[in-house]
Structure 1
Amino acid sequence: MNRPPYAIGIDTSVTRLSEADRLLREIATGLALPPDAFGCTHLVRDADGGRPRVALSLAAGSEAVIEGARDRLTGQGHQVQDGVWDGAGRAVLYPGADGLKGTLTVAELVSRSAIERVQVLGAQDGPDPSIRVVTREFVRPQWREGELVLAAMPAVGGTLVPFEVPDPTPCCADH
């Protein structure tokens, strides 16, 4: 599944992914987006190299949906631009995301969602479709060359887990 053709970018002052996820979900809920919509986060900087932050994007198969979202978000004071920030967005909202709970096989994960493939870190080939993925109810694939790909890593008992963890320990937390 390719990224839908109609998209907008939403600038934010958010600097943490968890905060960006929450904001994206709040915005999407307020807009009542259709099931084919995508909501992504993007790590961006200003052109002068300053102000690193997490920007958002929304994409859908309907121009009317995206134009309606643009109008509502602009009316709420958000800075909105045409298109996505880059081709490598981290998907938070995507078709099938809410059904990726518990432990699923790679084949089930791919068939139930917009994720097109699972890539195990450090492996040349994709995993066997029967390998189980422990989702931790937190599955954040990324766009790579037009495909929605979930990065995963080996875990206990021959399973896989998504590379990104739901509650990461902040760097240097004990300093």
Structure 2
Amino acid sequence: MIIGLDAGSRTVTEAEHLLHDMVKVLGLPAGTVGCTHFVRPESGAPHVACSLVLQAPPSGLPENVGAALGDSRTGPDDLAEGAALAAAEHAAGAGGRLVLFPGHAELNGTLTVAEVLAGSSIEQVVVLAQAEDPSPDTLVVTNDHVRPQWRDGRVVLLTMPAAGGRLMPAEVPNPTPCCVDHG
């Protein structure tokens, strides 16, 4: 079962913190799948919500967090709506970026495409602006930050070319915010 969670996070970093906190609060095991989703509820501003795969219904969710599990919604209405959108997107495999997933802790350093696929729940590695998948022996410099996405029901890691014929995830850790060096 998939639960949507929404604390009105303005950034993916805030939403990732919520995911990690909820995994601890709910006592979920390693390998739990947790995603972030950009949501646009009708009753509020666009923001980032989360989804988690659960084995059993949760108990003890924080009051300030909207939650959606099946047809059940709890918490503030706008956050419960965002949570429902996140859960639906995850359930359909139509969108969301995976933060927690089987094998994510082992995707460190430089690995081959074959190692990424064999050691995690990532099903495909694609390269920006290239029609064909990279060869299995192509090196991927993970920068210890791998965030695949749901695409058409599959877990796909989007990469981009890096120095020396290698690849790196298209999402980089700690990106420089826009306008940091100008007004």
Give the match for residue 98 of structure 1. Answer: 105
Q: Which runs of 5+ in 1 are unaligned?
A: 1-5
> Distance in 2 between the 1:32 and 1:99 partners?
21
Task: Return the TM-score normalized by structure 1.
Answer: 0.87
What is the Cα-based RMSD across aligned positions, in Å?
1.4
Q: Give 1:35's aligned amino acid.
A: A
Give the match for residue 72 of structure 1. Answer: 60
Give the match for residue 26 of structure 2. Answer: 31
> Distance in 1 between the 2:166 and 2:129 partners?
15
> Distance in 2 between the 1:24 and 1:136 partners?
21
Matches within 5 A, 1:11-90: 11-47=6-42, 50-60=44-54, 62=55, 64=56, 67-68=57-58, 71-73=59-61, 76-77=62-63, 78-82=65-69, 84-86=87-89, 87-90=94-97
> Distance in 1 between the 2:30 and 2:20 partners?
13
Which string of whole-angstrom CA distances, capped at 9 and with x for unpartnered residues, describes residues 111-144 of structure 1? 0000001010011111000000000010000000
> Distance in 1 between the 2:154 and 2:118 partners?
14
How far apart are 1:85 and its partner, in Å? 4.1
> Distance in 1 between the 2:13 and 2:143 partners?
15
CA contact (8 A) 2:161 2:167 kept: yes
Match of 1:165 among 172, 178, 182: 172
CA contact (8 A) 2:142 2:169 kept: yes
How far apart are 1:30 and its partner, in Å? 2.4
- C-alpha distance 85-43 of structure 1, shift in aligned 2 (>3 A): farther
> Distance in 2 between the 1:164 and 1:85 partners?
24
CA contact (8 A) 1:42 1:85 kept: no
Q: Give 2:49's aligned amino acid.
A: A
> Distance in 2 between the 1:32 and 1:158 partners?
41
Matched position secondary structure for 2:68 = strand
CA contact (8 A) 2:31 2:100 kept: no
> Distance in 2 between the 1:103 and 1:92 partners?
19
Matched, 1:122 2:129: yes
Seq. identity, %: 47
**Total equivalences in the alignment:** 161
CA contact (8 A) 2:162 2:168 kept: yes
